[in-house]
Amino acid sequence: MTTTSSPKIVISGSGVWTPPNVVTNEELVESYNAYAERFNAAHEADIAAGKIEEKHLSSVRFIEKTSGIKARYVYTREGILDIDRMRPKFPERKDEELSNQAEIGVLAARQAMAAAGKTAADIDCVIVAAAYTQRPYPAIAIEIQKELGIDGFGFDMLVACSAATFGLHRAYDSLVSGSSKCVLAVNPELVTPQVNFCDRDSHFIFGDVGTAVIMERSETCTSPNRYEILSTKALTRFSNNIRSNFGHMAYATDAEPFGWDKLFHQSGRNVFEEVSPVAAKHIRDHLASLDIKPRDVSRFWLHQANINMNNMVIKQLLGEDVKAETIPTILERYGNTASAGSIIAFHLYQDDLKKSDIGVICSFGAGYSVGSLVLRKL
């Protein structure tokens, strides 16, 4: 854990690029159920003989009740609802063209730079932190760096659900150490290409988004809207309960490179039960290390995977009587956007905060991983 001494480090701007396309629960369930019914009809004899398991139908009511998700934004709708495809369709781009992730990263980055009053010349480090990068190299961060005309260095990092907070931790550390003076941290969460839309348990969970944050030393900050970072804290504990086996080894193992285990899959109930108490304890310990009581926090910008999970975390921290504005949710509209959810919540739900108000950004999920930042509005 790192705590403030000097220099003072601030978040001075944020940006969210929201895709123009929406897929509702009703649409997803309709296409999944058509796919499942066709599958069951085609395999009727094998299902009757117990050789194949019948595909049970999905339900809008189940999705809303268990997750809080009503719709999600997607980079493209094409292919997702097509029962002959059941995955999005992206035209492959040439090496000379901007990659999809760099494109959405740049769109979010420009917003964050405008909010912070920064030009490319002010920034010297670009961190791309996400659940996936669409290629291993050259880094998406370096492509974004080139597109924006930034001197300095950039790198990509993957920490699944906690990539965004862990990326902000690296930004904070490099600013404290002096290895950079202004960091652009970007989360181009293009996750729908890894969703198994044929899997009833997870077909409804994810949406796409791009988020970005500018972090700098307070002496260079000109933004009227700034948050001092009081402290950062990270925790990881290995678990196979959320996993994707997609990777370069498939070429050598002769495994099916796009088999179901290569897509997102999880044991959602176990994740729910195991991660919620760990996240609550992590936040409580982090605040205690700063002598702050959970009740003194004006806003918790939590990871956005599941509304019941967030309610459970907050109940463990604050008890029953909690105002809705204390834990904003964006799940209804955005779904789970991998690591970007807490940053979307931070970006959209902060205007009413007053000077000296305390807020916590916290992510939790695959790894397992938990990452938090305690902020004070300046």
Reported as half-sphere exposure (CB side, CA atoms, 13 A), residue 220 has a value of 22
Determine the residue type at 259.
G
In a 10 Å sphere around its CB, with 0-12 CB exposed, 13-18 middle and 19+ buried, how is residue 249 labelled? exposed
Rank residues 141 and 275 by Cβ distance to ligand CO8 and give the closer one: 275
Shortest distance, position 115 Cβ to ligand CO8, whole Å: 26
Q: ∠ at Cα 167 (153, 171), nearest 5°?
A: 55
Contacts for 6 with CB less than 8 Å, ≥ 6 apart: none
Under rule CB under 6 A, residue 2 binds ligand CO8: no
Q: Which is nearer to ligand CO8, 227 or 364 (CB)?
A: 364
User: Taking CB under 6 A as the rule, does residue 349 contact ligand CO8?
Assistant: no
Residue 310 in contact with ligand CO8, rule: CB under 6 A: no
Between 129 and 191, CB nearer to ligand CO8: 191
Residue closer to ligand CO8 (CB basis): 79 or 117 = 79
Distance CA 296, CA 129 (A): 30
Stretch that binds ligand CO8, among 62-70, 228-236, 290-298, 343-351 (CB under 6 A): 62-70
Enumerate the β-bridge partners of residue 251: none
- Supply the minimum distance, in Å, between the C-beta of residue 34 and ligand CO8: 14
Residues 252-291 binding ligand CO8 (CB under 6 A) are 264, 266, 268-269, 271-272
Task: Quote the least distance from Cβ 99 to ligand CO8, whole Å.
Answer: 18
Active site residue ranges:
161
Choice from 2, 4, 33, 66 touching ligand CO8 (CB under 6 A): 66
Least separation in angstroms between residue 114's CB and ligand CO8 is 28
Q: How many CA atoms lie within 13 A of 363 on its CB side?
A: 34
User: Does position 309 bind ligand CO8 by CB under 6 A?
Assistant: yes
| CB nearer to ligand CO8: pick between 17 and 197 | 197
How many other CB atoms sit within 10 Å of the CB of residue 335?
29
Considering only 99, 225, 336, 369, the residue that binds ligand CO8 (CB under 6 A) is 336
- Residue appearing with tokens 């117990």: 50
Minimal CA–CA distance to 91: which of 207, 193, 242? 193
Residue 351's Cβ-count burial label (10 Å; 0-12, 13-18, 19+) is exposed
**Please, which of residues 185-244 interact with ligand CO8 by CB under 6 A?**
191, 194-195, 200-201, 204, 206, 242
Residues 131-150 that bind ligand CO8 (CB under 6 A): 131
Rg of the chain over Cα atoms, rounded to whole angstroms, equals 21
Q: How far is the CB of 266 from ligand CO8 (least distance, A)?
A: 5
Tell me how many residues contact ligand CO8 (CB under 6 A). Answer: 30
359 forms part of the interface with ligand CO8 (CB under 6 A): no
Distance CA 17, CA 29 (A): 26
Give the residue from 3, 337, 306, 273 showing the smallest Cα distance to 327.
306
Q: Which of 221, 23, 22, 39 is nearest to 116 (CA)?
A: 221
Give me the least distance between CB of 116 and ligand CO8, in Å please.
27
Interface with ligand CO8 (CB under 6 A)? 58-59, 62-63, 66-67, 131, 160-161, 191, 194-195, 200-201, 204, 206, 242, 264, 266, 268-269, 271-272, 305-306, 309, 336, 338, 365-366
